[in-house]
Amino acid sequence: MIEIAPEVADAQAVVALESTVIAHGLPRPANLETAQRLEQIVRAAGAVPATVGILAGKLKVGLGAEEVQRLAEEDNIRKVSTRDLPIAVAEGWDGATTVATTCWIAHRAGIKVFATGGTGGVHRGALPDVSADLPELARTPIVVVCSGAKIVLDLPATREWLETHGVTVVGYQCDEFPAFYSRRSGLPVDTRANSPAQVAALFQAQRGLGIDSALLVTVPVPEDFEVPQPQLQTVLDQALESAERDGIGGRELTPFLLSQMARRSHGSTLRANIALLENNARVAAEIAVALEAAG
């Protein structure tokens, strides 16, 4: 049920890319431009990109240019999380894969490295809304390169969850868990890595020990694109308030909060999101190359 593009199947160093960020995380036309750019960045760093998505119920690893365009431009693309996978296959959905489902599919396609923006986590508020990204990270052995969990979340609770479930968190050239649009959260990482080779050594040790969780490599948003703290707090509070007022929940919540923040910050959070996605794609490709070199 998984279809792997020949170029991906033949490649040594591969980086998986997710598609929910394309279909639901970024506005048009920036979404398609970013999706194409991420693939170019991975190639420029010497690896092969494998954008993951679902078309007519087929789990595809390494979408073609036209398929990526469909996910970016069509209106009926579902957001497919782990619980939806059997339904998507049985009912022949067109769908975008989240961090959870991209990890699940990429690992089964033999891919060792995956790049995204920010992972899901524990949401704020009374209802314990916990993204399926977290349990999938806890049970899938893959390197996930991200800028921490999305700022809209309860970051201390998310950090605790990762610790409880044994997910090793690496700060890539940083000593703090990044906070998506912001470089700092005040929360710890488990270790710091300064080079792709150091990350490769950590992943090899993890695999050697038979530990079957993800290695979460967190990379701060590039300095020039970081959203300043007071502005970030203002637009975040406003976004959370509108979600509450409009009764937004479930799979709609994360896309709603991200688009509210982009609008209210006049695009600052969107520019930060694109910058960190691009940077993470490059770092992921360098890690994939280092993993191959390490054998």
Residue 241: phi and psi, rounded to 5, are: -65, -45
**Catalytic one among 60, 79, 112, 150?**
150
R_g (Cα) of the chain, nearest Å: 17
Partner from Mn ion, ligand PSU, none binding residue 18, C-beta < 5-8 Å depending on class: ligand PSU
Partner from ligand PSU, Mn ion, none binding residue 120, C-beta < 5-8 Å depending on class: ligand PSU
**With respect to ligand PSU, which residue has the nearer C-beta, 11 or 24?**
24
Task: State both tokens at 249.
Answer: 């929940």
Q: Which residues contact 147 (CB under 8 A, 6 or more apart)?
A: 117, 118, 178, 180, 218, 219, 220, 221, 276, 280
Q: Is 150 among the catalytic positions?
A: yes
Distances (CA, A) of 124 to 227, 240, 262, 265: 20, 9, 19, 21
Select the residue interacting with ligand PSU from 31, 131, 182, 213 (CB under 6 A).
131
**With respect to Mn ion, which residue has the nearer C-beta, 203 or 256?**
256
Cβ atoms within 10 A of the Cβ of 198, count? 16
**With respect to Mn ion, which residue has the nearer C-beta, 28 or 83?**
83
Let me know: does 238 contact 260? Beta carbons within 8 Å.
yes
Residues in the chain: 295
Q: Does 129 bind Mn ion (CB under 5 A)?
A: yes
Q: Does 118 bind ligand PSU (CB under 6 A)?
A: yes
- Give the per-residue contact string, 59-98, with ligand PSU (x = CB under 6 A; - = no): ---------------------------------------x
Select the residue interacting with ligand PSU from 16, 18, 145, 239 (CB under 6 A).
18
- Please give the positions annotated as active site: 18, 150
Which residues of this chain interact with Mn ion, rule CB under 5 A?
Answer: 129
